[in-house]
Copies of this chain bind each other. A is one copy, B any other.
Amino acid sequence: MAKKKIYCECLNTVKPVRDTLDVISGKWKLPIIISVGVGNSRFTDIQESIPGLTPKVLAKELKELEQHQLIKRLIIEDYPVKIVYHLEPYADTLTPIIYAMKDWGISHREKIFKK
């Protein structure tokens, strides 16, 4: 009757992709995860390792990443007291996404400059 020819099976992919975007969207979350993953654990080190990142944005993003259980904030009761951030094991599950995006970004840049 009604000619419904819209392909709706794309929702099987669209929905989980949007769930993922809800967690890692924005300019800074993946860069912060990468920086912490590579060994930066102090607030200032993370900030300085990512050009353009301001303390306000870093503080906000770290809180969100903590809530999503991707990053752990630890207070080290030493003299002086230190605060370190490190990745939760759960953040490792993002590795395939990060590498896929790294690879694509590299070849995209090559493509753009070859023309």
What residues of chain A have their CB less than 8 Å away from a CB belonging to chain B?
A: 5-11, 13-21, 23, 25-27, 30-31, 34-35, 37-40, 45, 48-51, 90, 93-94, 96-98, 100-109, 111
Indicate how many identical chains form the complex.
Answer: 2
Q: CA A98 – CA B31 in complex, angstroms? A: 19
Provide the residues of chain B in CB contact with A102, threshold 8 Å.
13, 16-17, 20
* Given A30-B21, A35-B14, A97 contacting B100 (CB threshold 8 A): yes
B6 engages A109 (CB within 8 Å)? no
Query: CB-CB < 8 A to A51: which residues of B?
Result: 11
Chain B residues with CB under 8 Å of A48's CB are: 6
CA distance A10 to B40 in the complex (A): 9
B104 & A18 in contact (Cβ 8 Å cutoff) = no
Q: Are B104 and A94 neighbours in the complex by a CB distance under 8 Å?
A: yes
